[in-house]
Structure 1
């Protein structure tokens, strides 16, 4: 019954108008809400709940998720046309961080949920089991933990389930057998246990199964033979044992079959190639399989990749490879294909000639016996990697080897090859690594090796090579490692060989018959680490130029006929760890600088003619670290040396003589010095340095820099590169504050462009984590030559390279310091890439360019290869895309322009080096193994094993140790993500900064 007031209102026309207006407002409000809800509040609120659980959205992909848009128009959302219900959520690779809301299970029309390659944490909500219409679920490459929810089995229409690269534990739930339409189950790289359950065989629709990288254990169930539609099976590194069930070999649709690195035993069926005619990948390496490698493999005519290395296969290799016309890579190393030296023992080589797409052939350590046939030259011109090392091949190396013009790596070492190295080896223009060591090659080293302009590593030790070292090796401008030891080579050391600045790793000419002295051109090997000239017939005095090889860590001159004193110039070799000059004719006193080197780990002065005191400090304080045997005129030293005591009188007499000499000579030197100084000053005048009005830093004169560095003395040299040398100096005598003076080698091609690039970069940047520039000089020296230099703030704690790889610092970087440094570097890159007015690409990021101040704060320096994007500076010049081997991204090697993505790659390699302590050019990284792959394979369970021991601090509790391990894994994943080959897939540097800061926050709270 209506009230009187209502009745009165109804009788009034004004009331009727008021009610109509109110009704309009209600309708308009309902229309607005309807625009957001689309008639379904359940989906709307489920999506808002999803958004509420996201704690970090770096790309702002969820900003459109608001009332202004219909939720079907939100980023990553698709809806059905008829009901306007959510049918797909596609938010892959968006950098989203947070947890997955259980209310996603309310999206009852959802058919496709893809969240792969984000940073979702926590457990997978069991509410996803409500999604009965779900066909595709991609949650891989996240940080989900816990178990696989059992009620995913309620998703009766599920066809593809990808959960790989998470932290899932437990076993595969038995309820999964109820998902009868499942075609793809990808669970690799988790921590799942409990084996491959037999009930999975009930899912007869299975087409792809991948469980690699889980510690599953157990054997392979025979029931998997029910997967008649299976095309891909990957279960490598699963700790599986037992034999491979015969039922597996009846899956005739198999294309990719991988069970690498398990403990599988037994033999392969002889008819495997007939049973699996569609195979393209067969990967069973790293098991304990026995028997003959079945010849029927050749009937899998589509095979592209065959990897059976590291098993116990035996018997003659009789596969007819001629049928495998599409084969790209063959890995059969470390088996026992023993032969009997029969004429046809290596006949399989003949059958490879039809494999025109072959890129890799690895047959090292296979116990192959016989002569390498001439048909080796008929192999594919696409062949890039060939290894027949560690076998029992004999006879001569066929000259037809020169036909393999695609080779980049050739290993024939550890065989019994005789006769000469064929001159045709010089036709392999793409060759980068050549290993012929531990054979019986004789005759000269062919001059044609000098044609191999891309060669980086040449190893010929332990042969019977004779004659002089060909000077043509000086043409190998990329050579960084040369070992010719244990041969019969004679003649002098070629000067041209010593003028290779690329020779940085090792030069070993030991145990030959080399004669003459060490050429002064040795000074050009400023970056060489290891020099071994021992056990030759070298003579004369040690050239002072050897002191210019400031990067040496090992110097071995043992067993020659050197004489005279040790030159004082060798005092600049402050990084030496091993010095052996024994069994020569050196004389004089033991140099005083030897007892001041903290880097020395072993010093051998034995069997020379040294005299006087043996020091008792430095390396001489520990008798196990040095030897002075056979020097009959030495005295003093440690008691354990049992040397005679030194005569005090003799000491006093020599001191007196020295004193008299100083009195007589010093005034004369002073007068001469003053005359020379006045003469030079008069000649120079007072010409000011050139200046540029657009530079924000002051200029300084050449004269001032000369004085500041004590005449650019080698004693003040603190670093050297291809374009410059860096000296420590005192620019202002009043404050006595040291600076770093970078002097350009203008005679080197590209140095001037390097200077200009660096100046242009410094005019545009200023940041806490960038090296501070103080001044510059663009002038001429006293001979009228162009002179250019930059003056920087001096970094007292050296470079990251020093801390990682030298003995300069007795302590090592701890974990917090390393990640702080990496965060600082990433912050600097973020500034250069994203916050500068013009994007700047550094171009040469590596440990030696990361300098540390008093507080161990990192500063990025050396912008000599930098490029300002959007300018024409540095275009069309090869030096601007070269970078440094090991740190430069792969796309630069094929001519791509420099980009910020290239810097991210270099940062990724830098990060992995800082955390593992291993250089990307370490000798262990060969045969397809790289620093990136080395760490990738260790993630996540074996990350501690690849981390530098000095970086890991043991914690007092198990929980803390677990957190440290998680932080290590998280940090390494950043490095791996940054250093992938594809530029577009590398992690954004701004995300890197945030991730590293998050890791630091966790570590600082432990």
Structure 2
């Protein structure tokens, strides 16, 4: 009985234990369920406060699925509690207090929305938060004074680009784990507190506020940053900071890459210790009241890429050590009191794309070494100095330069004829000097000029008649010189508001609005005689010229006027100042509505970029940095586009290497937007948006693309191979002018590389795109210009047949190349794009009449056969059998001109849409 009694007691105890455990389990489960329910209700309260959800992100926030599966919500795997809310979705509305119920929250990022009102103070009590980001909204209020105590675990504090006011809380020093502090673009005021306990700081962005009181101790906080050994970025520009830049700036982390203190009230010298910041890449000191000399030690900053000092009171000579900064891309010393000569050592800065030394007291001659900087492509501004002597004769090196301003100096002698080789020039300003003699005839090559100002010189002779034919010239100022003879009446001369000829007493003729005297009969005869003497050699020269010069002259001449180029100052600002926030705003948060294209390396978005009250339509190429090779592609494209400038290449506006709202690396390229999309879209339109290119339009595009490749292969300082030419990389502007883009695979060639085939293998993994890549690449051959020729040949065949090289009909030995080659010339009508055979007559389509008209139109048929034969030759399997792009460009241009001439007066079936 004792044994039975004992066993009964044990069983009862076990039952009680199981019941207790079960009860505890029920309580724990009940607690978890209640906690989950609290999180769910908090999220639904937030949804209720959002008044506008254009992307319908919150449509997934409903009871049909667990809230951990809602878009933008991240939960802990064990407890299923909300730990993160990342959203970039253009939400409009306010932030509810119920979000403070998300007690497990570690990461909250509402950047890039349109949230308004104040952040509820209860949210500042979520002590578990590591990331607190409300970047780029419309939030108001101030940060709580005890922020550092209630959010001690913060690693990221980002409330930039809102409407916050008040001081930066002194308690911020308690957030000892803080790595990123970004409060720029608000209305914060007062002194910046000490940051000495924030040893982990990497990025500090305080720009565009009202911080500082214009007093000498405003920058004391900089001293407190010397212990932040990982500091990479310090931005305090556009505030009210006064005083001197502390010597302690030289003791900041040697990891510092970006230092921006511009647009403040700082004075005094550049601290000598600045030379210690050996990894500095961007240095902005402009628009302050700095004085003294530019220290020679500045040459120690050999990683510097952008150096801006404009708008200060620096005096003395520019140190020759500036030539040590061989990585410089942008150098701007404008609007100071610098004197002495321009150092010839600047010629070592072979990466410069922009040089501005204007508005100083510089003397002496312009060094030939500076004019020899072939990398210059944005602008060269030496205006408003005391420069003397003749202009260097080597201007022809600057083939990629967009603007030259040497006005208001004391330069003398002739205008160098070599300037005619600067074929990308859009602005040429030489006013206010002592230049003399005639305007050289070589300037007739500057067909892209928009602004030409030669006023207030001693120039003489006749006004060149070739200026009539400059299609983009919108401002011509020749006033106060000694020009004589008859004034032209066409082109820019037909608009009296676009030209200025005052102060030239011996001019006659012109349009009536100029009120000039009538030219005498003798004058007119002499003018015609001189014109004939000029025309004969010019026409002869044009007939003899092949290659690039011919292409550029004719292609420029065939187009209508375009808008004025962005002023140099705006171009500079764009190059330097576009941030992730700017691009996010420009593209409406990289919305799907603005997505133009997507590929393995990234996506392209349409956007509107705002700068200085101007809006520019742009295409933003965002790199997918998760994809292997994307970052390398970004660098290749930057390097290539920095070195080239041609009207048939897509024009890069700027680039951006930054971080997004979540702190991830972000890289993007910003281009001019091409309103007519890609050639791919025109050759293979979808049913919803049918469109077609006529024969002349296709031939114009072929000429444009050939011109671009000819330039890359033969007219760059170092030849460039595109490596990925295809219709989707040929973009069309409003006038259907073609622009070659996407240089992500581009390669620079050594001088020894030519068009001939190489049997050497290469480890470079250039594949291009299937169907367009040269066959030798698949066998490991070196990259060469003949590879681009092959791709162009395929593109040319596709343009006029309407068939992709990957069309399903091409199997076995049948390729697009063989398909065309086997049909020429007798069976042309069988291979040409049917869209080119459509004849419209009184609103009806007659295929029979179209075919009949096609076969009897010799000029059109001859043109098509000739063009397709070029495509066949270029796409030959053996590189040695292909043509050079120089020859291709010249022949296509010749065919286009013959076609235009022969079809005049004939039915326009194949020439107009």
TM-score band w.r.t. shorter chain: 0.5 to 0.7
CA contact 1:572–1:714 (8 Å) conserved in 2: no
What's the counterpart of residue 890 of structure 2?
none
Residue 338 (structure 1) aligned with residue 206 (structure 2): no
- Judged with a 3 Å threshold, the aligned counterparts in structure 2 of structure 1 residues 428 and 479 are, in CA distance, closer, same or farther, namely same
For residues 821 and 606 of structure 1, what CA distance do their matches in structure 2 show?
49
Distance across 2 between alignment mates of 1:641 and 1:468: 42
Partner of 1:209: 85
| CA 1:185–1:464: 2 relative to 1, 3 Å | farther
CA distance in 1: counterparts of 2:478 and 2:432, whole angstroms: 11
Quote how far apart the aligned CAs of 1:228 are.
1.2
State how far apart, in whole Å, the 2-side matches of 1:267 and 1:855 are.
52
CA distance in 2, matches of 1:281, 1:445: 41
Match of 1:38 in 2: none
Distance 2:411 2:739 in 1: 45
Residues 265/856 of structure 1: CA separation in 2 closer, same or farther (3 Å cut): closer
Q: Is the 8 A contact 2:204 2:233 kept in 1?
A: yes
Asked if 1 retains the 8 angstrom alpha-carbon contact of 2:542 and 2:550, the reply is no
The DSSP-based 3-state class of the residue aligned with 2:313 is coil
Correspondence 1:734-753 to 2 at 5 A: none
Select the residue among 544, 547, 562 that pairs with 1:710.
544
Select 1:169's aligned residue among 45, 56, 69. 56
Indicate the larger mover: 864-873 or 457-466: 864-873
Q: In structure 2, what is the equivalent of residue 460 of structure 1?
A: 333
Deviation at 1:371, TM superposition (A): 0.6
CA contact (8 A) 2:431 2:455 kept: yes
CA distance, structure 1, for counterparts of residue 728 and residue 413 of structure 2: 36
* Counterpart check, 1:321 vs 2:195: yes
Determine if contact 2:487/2:510 at 8 Å carries over to the other structure: yes
Rg (Cα) greater in structure: 1
2:21 matches 1:187: no
Aligned-residue offset at 1:601: 1.3
Query: Which deviations, in whole Å up to 9, do the C-alpha atoms of 1:58-103 show, x marking residues without a partner?
Result: xxxxxxxxxxxxxxxxxxxxxxxxxxxxxxxxxxxxxxxxxxxxxx
Q: Is the Cα–Cα contact under 8 Å of residues 678 and 727 in structure 2 kept in the other structure?
A: no
Please name the residue that 2:450 is paired with: 577
- From 796, 801, 812, the counterpart of 2:649: 801
How many residues are paired up? 571
Q: State the secondary structure of the residue aligned to 1:801.
A: coil
What is the match of residue 419 of structure 1?
292
Q: 1:803 deviation in Å?
A: 9.7
SS in 2 for 1:323: coil
Q: Are 1:269 and 2:269 an aligned pair?
A: no
Contact 2:486 2:524 in 1 (8 A): no
Q: CA deviation at 1:604?
A: 0.5
| 1:186–1:515 distance in 2 versus 1, CA, 3 Å | same
Secondary structure at 2:408 match in 1: coil
1:402 CA drift (Å): 1.2
Q: Structure 1 pair 395/844, CA: closer, same or farther in 2 (3 Å)? A: farther
For 2:104, which of 201, 217, 229 is the aligned residue? 229
Give, in angstroms, the shift of residue 716 of structure 1.
Answer: 2.8
Q: Are 2:61 and 2:67, in contact at CA under 8 Å, matched by a contact in 1?
A: no
Q: CA deviation at 1:256?
A: 0.9
Instruction: Write the distance in 2 (CA, Å) between the matches of 1:607 and 1:431.
Output: 43
Q: Is the 8 A contact 1:842 1:865 kept in 2?
A: no
Does 1:301 find its partner at 2:181?
A: no
Q: Quick one: distance in 2 between partners of 1:261 and 1:869?
A: 54
- Select 1:632's aligned residue among 505, 516, 524: 505
Q: Specify which structure has the bigger relative contact order, considering alpha-carbon pairs within 8 angstroms and separated by 6 or more residues.
A: 2
Contact 2:677 2:732 in 1 (8 A): no
Give SS of 2:443's match: helix
After TM superposition, the structure 1 = structure 2 runs for residues 440-589 of structure 1, keeping only pairs within 5 Å, are 440-589=313-462
CA-based RMSD:
4.5
The 5-angstrom pairing of residues 809-888 of structure 1 reads: 814-815=676-677, 819-820=681-682, 842-843=722-723, 850=730, 865=748, 873=761
Q: CA deviation at 1:492?
A: 0.3
- Counterpart secondary structure, 2:108: strand
- SS across alignment from 1:352: coil
| 2:448–2:556 Cα contact (<8 Å) kept | no
Distance 1:220 1:552, change over 3 A: same
- Unaligned stretches of 5+ in structure 2? 1-31, 33-38, 44-52, 74-78, 558-645, 654-672, 686-697, 706-719, 769-781, 789-913
After TM superposition, the structure 1 = structure 2 runs for residues 742-781 of structure 1, keeping only pairs within 5 Å, are: none
Distance in structure 2 (CA, Å) of the matches to 1:322 and 1:872: 59
In 2: Cα distance, 1:385 partner to 1:846 partner: 38
Please name the residue that 2:625 is paired with: none
**SS of the residue 1:212 aligns to:** coil
Change over 3 Å in CA distance of 1:623–1:385 after alignment to 2 = same
Deviation at 1:713, TM superposition (A): 8.8
Per-residue CA distance 1:591-636 (angstroms, 9 max, x = gap)? 0111111121111111111001111110000111111111111111
Do the aligned partners of 1:498 and 1:524 also contact (CA within 8 Å) in 2? Answer: yes
CA shift, 1:168, in A, is 4.7
CA distance in 1, matches of 2:236, 2:422: 39
Structure 2 distance, partners of 1:599, 1:727, is 9
Are 2:159 and 1:284 equivalent residues in the alignment?
Answer: yes
In 1: Cα distance, 2:394 partner to 2:159 partner: 52
Q: 1:374 and 1:554, CA in 2 relative to 1: closer, same or farther beyond 3 A?
A: same
Structure 1, unmatched stretches of 5+, are 1-134, 136-151, 157-165, 189-202, 670-705, 720-725, 729-797, 806-810, 829-839, 884-896, 904-1006
TM-score by length of 2: 0.56
Q: Does 1:360 align with 2:233?
A: yes
Task: State the Cα distance separating 1:210 from its structure 2 match.
Answer: 2.5
Q: Give CA-to-partner distance per residue, 1:229-284, whole Å, 9 cap, x none.
A: 10011112332222111111110000111111222111111110111111111110
1:616–1:484 distance in 2 versus 1, CA, 3 Å: same
